[in-house]
Amino acid sequence: MPVELSKSGIEQIVAQFKSAAEYSRQAGFEVAEIHAAHGYLMHEFLSPLSNIREDEFGGSLENRMRFPLMVAKTVRETWPENLPVFARISVTDWMEHGWDLPQSIEFSRRLKQIGVDLIDCSSGGLVPGARIPAGPGYQTPFAAAIRREVEILTSAVGLITDPAQAEHILVTEQADVVTLARQMLRDPYWPLHAAHELGDDVSWPPQYLRAKPAGKK
């Protein structure tokens, strides 16, 4: 059964995030993303649905943000200043009395103060029974709201599958980045196909040219 983390346990996990950032940079990564969404540990601290602590890490919004902000501060201080740090959050739990957009806006403000460069705006994943109105671009308004209210770069994600749809999000400044997952699994060449569909003549990576059938784009 889960047990409440002790303060020393929290400090140990923060130190482990620091080590993970160091190892990631040594491995050659140029972007670090802190995962505070989808029911993972930092999301569990943020949401009043899962955080029932009665110490300085529970109760008020300030207290519930404390541990995730400690992690973000440590990662940002560890990661090279000239390379970006992203934070993925679930903007809403889709449940009454849960984590929501206003709290996400305040959390994003605090992340910006620490030096986080971009908020990756997803949602849900904490509790069963949440009624999520999934549909094309259903989470994009969250990215737009945080971008507008916090004046920070945001990423839109969630059932963005069509090149014109992705381009519309960027051109209308609802988000600064579009993040894809399932569509990239369905079509690993999606960026190239999207570029051609949108009239941008991009070059294939040399490694792909070796496998590309003659005469094919």
Same domain, 213 and 139: no
What is the set of active-site residues? 40
Same domain, 197 and 110: no
**What is the per-residue pLDDT for 208?**
74
Report how many domains make up the chain.
2
Same domain, 73 and 120: yes
Band of the pLDDT at 202, cuts 50, 70, 90? confident
Same domain, 72 and 147: yes
Tokens of 56: 């300085």
Residue 15 lies in a domain: no
Contact 120, 83 (CB under 8 A): no
Same domain, 108 and 147: yes
Question: Each residue of 78-103: pLDDT tens digit?
Answer: 999 999 999 999 999 999 999 999 99
Same domain, 139 and 62: yes
Q: What b/e sequence results for 64-96 when a residue is b if at least 16 CB atoms lie within 10 Å of its CB, and e otherwise?
A: bbbbbbbbbbbbbebbeeeebbbbbbbbbbbbe
- Give residues with Cβ within 8 angstroms of 65, minimum separation 6: 45, 46, 106, 107, 110
Same domain, 69 and 162: yes
Residue appearing with tokens 């940079």: 25
Region 27-52: what's the mean pLDDT? 98
**What is the per-residue pLDDT for 213?**
62
Report percent pLDDT > 90 for the chain. 87
Which helix (H) or strand (E) segment holds residue 89: the answer is: strand 85-90
Same domain, 147 and 196: no
Same domain, 159 and 214: no
Which helix (H) or strand (E) segment holds residue 18: the answer is: helix 7-26
Domain that holds residue 83: 29-126+133-181
Which helix (H) or strand (E) segment holds residue 8: the answer is: helix 7-26
Same domain, 148 and 195: no
Residue 16 lies in a domain: no
Same domain, 153 and 96: yes
Residue 4 lies in a domain: no
Same domain, 65 and 47: yes
Q: Is residue 15 predicted with pLDDT exceeding 80?
A: yes
Q: Is residue 216 predicted with pLDDT exceeding 60?
A: no
Sign of CA dihedral 34, 38, 41, 46: positive
